[in-house]
Amino acid sequence: MKVHALVLVSAFTALSPRAGAEVLPECAAHRERGRLAEARACYTAALRSESDALVLAEAQWRLGRREEANALFRRAAAQRPRDPAPRLGWARLFLESHNAAEAGKLFEEVLTLDPNAAEAHLGLALAAAEVFDEEATQHAQKALELDPKLTEARVLLARLALEEQDVKTAAAHLDAAEKMPGSPLATYALRAAIDQLAGRPESPWTKKALDRNPRYGEIYATPAHLFMLQRQYAEAADLYRRAVEVEPELWSAHAELGVNLWRLGDEEGARRHLETAYRGDPYDPTIVNSLRLLDSLKRFRTFRTRRGILRLHEKEAELMRPYVEELLEKAIDAYQAKYQFTVPRPVQLEVYPDHEDFAVRTLGLPGLGALGVSFGHVVAMDSPSGRPPGSFHWGSTLWHELNHVFVLESTRHRAPRWISEGLAVYEESLAGEGWGDHLTPDVIEAIREKKLLPIVLLDRGFVRPDYPGQVAVSYYQAGAVCEMIAREWGFPKLLAMLRAYTDGRATPEIVETELGLTAERFDERFRQFLAARTGAIVAAFEPEWKPLMKKIAALREEKKLAEAVEPARRARDLYPEYVDEGNAYELLADAAFERGDKAGAAAELDAYRKAGGRDPAVLKRLAAWCVELGRKDQAQHVLEQLLWIRPGDEELHVRLGDLLLEAKKPQPALRELQSVLALQPLDPVDAHYKLALAYHQLQDRARTREHVLQALEEAPGYRPAQKLLLEIHDDHDPD
Amino acid sequence: MRYQHLLRAGALIAALQPAALARAEVHFVVVGGLGGEPAYEQRFAAETRELEAAGRTLSGDPSRVRALSGGAATREAVQEAFGAVARAASSEDVLVSIFVGHGNVDGAVYKLNLPGPDPTCDELRQWLDRVPARRQLVVLATSASGGCVAPLQRTGRVVLSATRSGTERNVPVFSRYFVEALRDPTADRDHDESVTALEAFRYAEQKVQRFYADAKRLATEHATLSSDAAREFVVARRGAAARVASNVKPAPPALAARRAALETEVHALRERKAGMETEAYWTELERTLVELARVQDSIDVATGQP
């Protein structure tokens, strides 16, 4: 037997056309045709007859013994320090075992031995593609440049193009790949995917592949992967299910099926397939993490609401439930009316206090930068307790994600990212004062450097960003695009566009038919819209605003607040959305307060709040000033807004509860005071006493008694509680 | 008003008779250790000042409050401060000693970091032992302070520490919140207008937990308390309680005795709670609390309280 490197690596590349010289080609041929028993016998025979470590490694790997294979690859690499082959095989084993870092090191080692090793560039491309790194394309192109017959690189380029929904480029790569040597199966799978994504479920390529290899699960798993990327989880799950039917040992498909079923709310099915996947591939962190998280769900409590299902962690369920439930129902009401659509199933909302749990729920892996995600009618998001206090407007995020529920469900998940994210961003900004994303310095830079994408390419900014921060810039752009359409054509046009996407039409056509402009003209119109809104700050950002901010910071440092007022006003007026560190509003408020103008100070901080300022300490200061100025309604409003930012703040609930009690609004006061108790307060006596007062205002004697006694149980001499006890006692029993 | 009630919860313990209480005095020693860098120097000095002020309010006599911080807080000066208390205090008195700053464990020996030589835990113990006051509260709010708890323990002495062992070496935030407890009304958990060492400890402990939870950091300090007898030491007074020493008319003895009896009844009832039927417990508690409230009404009328 000749010594070669082998193919069959990750789920996607399994049975891919060719990856360099083949080890045990006759065994590989059995596999390629789905003759698994023969393949197994062939590899087993090789183990008996061969002595070369590389061949043995290959055979062990294909027999599912990865640890033995790993040891043999190590030995082979040591025996042949100048030969790329053992390292290439070993790296592929690492790739299949979900260890891209080690694989990458070995591919780099190969490149030090042979800088023109096309296989190594291909390996780096595959590793990059797994994490949607834009370098995947460059590496694949380099591999092809070095070896134009490297079919697997061509197929990878086709897949990458399809991931970006660039069917034309993908088809061109596949045309080229068909003329190249090696197995055609991966090409068939991508052809089948193109058909299915275009709404042709019965693709002739599926039959062709299964005729060649009846156990070729990838013929379904590859399209499933692409459906999943387009957030069409039900379609993906259906295809993965078919993949494991034809190839029950395709562990990656079991894993993806499990993850997708979970996204669809089927936890039992998810667990079953994830456990199957784990038995076959215990190295996949996605499987392990997902199973662990599924186990930990017993620590979550489930609540049915009018039209939804809430899952909240037991440690914060009592606190969070009333606020989450209120907003969930409010959002469903609002979207149902505005989008003229009723979600056919209860909306399931899961709130994770541990961000890494949320990340695992979303991707199966930790390290996700997002705050929330919608899988359709199932939504997962961070809890505010999972983020630094005040850094996260959870109300805005919830509103954003629930918009996705309506857009994805009403379009059968066919809305592209630009419009689904754009609508969500747009709706957030309408939901409340200071809600939603705002114009950040990164966005200003991107506008200034003309980095915004044309409408037809805007999805790329979300899926495969070209520069750091492009995802955030794309969110802003998409939101602004939707806002422009709503303003200039009317909101119903956006609904019409959603309907057109549901019908499978593409962006250029939709823009032209619904808005009456070519995509290029639309882009021009958007540039004008954006210039009217941001032109001043984009022009002044570097030459004026930044120097002003520097000057303000220096004056603040020197405590010369009075001198800083004029430059701060100019900075604020130039860029009113800037509410982050060192913003002008706080300085102007401090300066006003210093000169005894509390009303002026409060006005500045209220403008800060309306512009999107969210620092809880600043907002609480504003509320305190409002109280001192006798504007208790305003104070109440400010504190109520803070509930959507930092609901775990005991002081917030205490102060809001006090204001509501004073305003004789016992029902909302009850909610705040119950939140205080749920937070295990520093002063439970006070919380019980105030709850008693609220119930007393509601003339609920039984509960008044219950809470006043609980207060006095801990603090028998607490005079206000004693007086309330006597009052209810004397009222009840005047004698 | 509520003189005896205050004393029941306070340093000058309920078991003692008023005559004995009248003789008892509270002595304070507050030490703010070496900061090592400006931010800590300022923080420790500010905490020392606040503790000193609280001590003055509480003791009613500035001469019984000895506070040292920064360059003045040398080993010799601290030793001398304890020596002065030893000379002034009687066995009926109360000693409250509070240490903020850095500490460390060198080998197995805890040391308080001061300018010049650092006193060891054993030396602190010797200085405390020389003070005749039987009831002593020691608050070790320094890093590594858990390494000095066991050596300091003895009958009548309650030790609070910011850390549970000598290996918790990061500067604790406990002291910040212990000081805060002296001015934050919510620390007064039973609303008797006095903050006991136990209440201040629980307040600070809870605030420390929230501090680390909010910062998403693993807690590097875990405060400890050697005995619930910390409830017998008052560390701050507010409102009417703060005015006690001045000129509040005492409650009529019969009413005061009845109130004390009812309070004792409430405590006894709480202790029996687990073994009682729920409704029977609350009914009985209500009856007692209603009477207690009426007695307090009468006391307020008699003493001219609003």
B231-250 pLDDT tens trace: 889 998 877 666 554 556 78
pLDDT at position B8: 36
- Residues 240-269 of chain B whose Cβ lies under 8 A from any Cβ of chain A: 262-263, 266
* Minimal-distance CA residue of chain A relative to B278: A706
| 3-state SS assignment for residue B153 | coil
Nearest Cα to Cα of residue A87 among A116, A119, A49: A119
Share of chain A above pLDDT 70, in %: 96
Q: Cα(A2)–Cα(A490) distance, rounded to whole angstroms?
A: 69
pLDDT greater than 80 at residue A506? yes
- Residues 387-416 of chain A whose Cβ lies under 8 A from any Cβ of chain B: 388-389
- Chain A CB within 8 Å of residue B8 CB: no
The yes or no reply on domain B25-246 and CATH 3.90.650.10 is no
Report chain A residues whose CB lies below 8 A from the CB of B297: 726
* Minimal-distance CA residue of chain A relative to B294: A726
* Minimal-distance CA residue of chain A relative to B271: A713
pLDDT at position A468: 86
Share of chain A above pLDDT 90, in %: 82
Q: Cα(B113)–Cα(B103) distance, rounded to whole angstroms?
A: 5
pLDDT greater than 80 at residue B221? yes
Q: Cα(B50)–Cα(B119) distance, rounded to whole angstroms?
A: 23
Rounded to two decimals, the ipTM of the complex is: 0.81
Mean pLDDT (chain A) is 92
Question: What residues have CB less than 8 Å from B84, skipping those under 6 apart?
Answer: B66
C-alpha triplet A353, A356, A360: angle, nearest 5°: 115
| 3-state SS assignment for residue B26 | strand
Q: Is B40 exposed, middle or buried, given 0-12, 13-18 or 19+ CB atoms closer than 10 A?
A: middle
Nearest to A716 among B187, B263, B297 (CB): B263
Asked if the Cβ–Cβ distance from B263 to A709 is below 8 Å, we say no
What is the per-residue pLDDT across B53-110, written as a single tens digit (0 to 9) for each? 989 888 888 899 999 998 999 999 999 999 999 999 999 999 999 999 999 998 889 9
Nearest to B189 among A714, A716, A717 (CB): A714
What is the per-residue pLDDT across A188-220, written as a single tens digit (0 to 9) for each? 999 999 999 988 989 999 999 999 999 999 999
- Chain A CB within 8 Å of residue B283 CB: no
Asked if the Cβ–Cβ distance from A723 to B293 is below 8 Å, we say yes
Q: Cα(A355)–Cα(A165) distance, rounded to whole angstroms?
A: 30
Mean pLDDT of A543-569: 95
- Chain B CB within 8 Å of residue A684 CB: yes
Mean pLDDT of A632-657: 96
pLDDT band at A429 (very low <50, low <70, confident <90, very high): very high
CB A471 within 8 A of CB A465: yes
- Residues 687-706 of chain A whose Cβ lies under 8 A from any Cβ of chain B: 705-706
Phi and psi torsions of B80, nearest 5°: -65, -40
The amino acid at residue A288 is V
The secondary structure of residue A279, as a DSSP letter, is H
Mean pLDDT of A608-622: 95
Q: Cα(B116)–Cα(B74) distance, rounded to whole angstroms?
A: 6
Number of H helices, E strands in chain A: 38, 5
Report chain B residues whose CB lies below 8 A from the CB of A709: 282, 285-286, 289
* Minimal-distance CA residue of chain B relative to A391: B214
Q: Cα(A266)–Cα(A244) distance, rounded to whole angstroms?
A: 17
Distance from CA of B201 to the nearest CA of A (A): 12
- Chain A CB within 8 Å of residue B289 CB: yes
- Chain B CB within 8 Å of residue A176 CB: no
pLDDT at position A456: 94
CB A584 within 8 A of CB A605: no
The secondary structure of residue B154, as a DSSP letter, is B
Nearest to A717 among B192, B214, B216 (CB): B192
Strand partners, B95: B27, B136
For residue A684, give both structure tokens.
Answer: 């439970």
What is the per-residue pLDDT across B151-160, written as a single tens digit (0 to 9) for each? 999 999 999 9
Q: Cα(B43)–Cα(B34) distance, rounded to whole angstroms?
A: 10
Nearest Cα to Cα of residue A27 among A48, A43, A4, A45: A43
CB A129 within 8 A of CB A159: yes
What is the per-residue pLDDT across A105-119, written as a single tens digit (0 to 9) for each? 999 999 999 999 999
Report chain A residues whose CB lies below 8 A from the CB of B266: 713, 716
Q: Cα(A322)–Cα(A676) distance, rounded to whole angstroms?
A: 13
Q: Is A101 exposed, middle or buried, given 0-12, 13-18 or 19+ CB atoms closer than 10 A?
A: exposed
The amino acid at residue B3 is Y
CB A436 within 8 A of CB A429: yes
Distance from CA of A671 to the nearest CA of B (A): 20
How many pairs of residues across A and B have Cβ atoms under 8 Å apart? 75
Report chain B residues whose CB lies below 8 A from the CB of A655: none
Half-sphere exposure of B232 (CA within 13 A, CB side): 19
Phi and psi torsions of A374, nearest 5°: -115, 130
Distance from CA of B123 to the nearest CA of A (A): 36
Strands B26-32 and B94-101: parallel
Phi-psi region of A355 (alpha: psi -120 to 50; beta: other; left: phi over 0): alpha
Provide the residue ranges of all domains of chain B, joining segments of one domain with +.
2-17+250-303, 25-246
Distance from CA of A355 to the nearest CA of B (A): 11
Report chain A residues whose CB lies below 8 A from the CB of B262: 716
* Minimal-distance CA residue of chain B relative to A679: B210
pLDDT at position A734: 55
Three-state SS string over B27-45 comes to: EEEEEECCCCCHHHHHHHH
Mutate which: A354, A383, A712, vs B, most B CBs within 10 A: A712
| 3-state SS assignment for residue A106 | helix
Nearest Cα to Cα of residue A182 among A57, A318, A337, A20: A20
Nearest Cα to Cα of residue A330 among A358, A356, A349, A302: A349
Strand partners, B120: B111
pLDDT band at A733 (very low <50, low <70, confident <90, very high): low
Which residue blocks in chain B are alpha helix, DSSP H?
3-9, 18-23, 38-59, 75-88, 121-129, 149-152, 174-181, 197-214, 239-242, 244-247, 253-272, 278-303
Nearest to B289 among A683, A684, A709 (CB): A709
> Per-residue DSSP letters for B87-148?
HH--TTSEEEEEEEE-EEEETTEEEE--SSSPPBHHHHHHHHHTS--SEEEEEEEETTGGGG
Nearest to B294 among A685, A717, A726 (CB): A726
Asked if the Cβ–Cβ distance from B293 to A681 is below 8 Å, we say no
> Per-residue DSSP letters for A506-552?
-HHHHIIIIISS-HHHHHHHHHHHHHHHHHHHHHHIIIIIHHHHHHH
pTM of the complete model: 0.83
Report chain A residues whose CB lies below 8 A from the CB of B292: 716-717, 722
| 3-state SS assignment for residue A309 | strand
Asked if the Cβ–Cβ distance from B289 to A719 is below 8 Å, we say no
Least confident of A324-328, A398-402, A435-439: A435-439
* Minimal-distance CA residue of chain B relative to A689: B191
pLDDT band at A258 (very low <50, low <70, confident <90, very high): very high
pLDDT greater than 80 at residue A131? no
Asked if the Cβ–Cβ distance from A682 to B214 is below 8 Å, we say no
- Chain A CB within 8 Å of residue B297 CB: yes
Asked if the Cβ–Cβ distance from B191 to A685 is below 8 Å, we say yes
Mutate which: A685, A719, A730, vs B, most B CBs within 10 A: A719
Asked if the Cβ–Cβ distance from B192 to A714 is below 8 Å, we say no
Mean pLDDT of A3-29: 50
Taking chain A, what is the end-to-end CA distance rounded to the nearest angstrom?
107
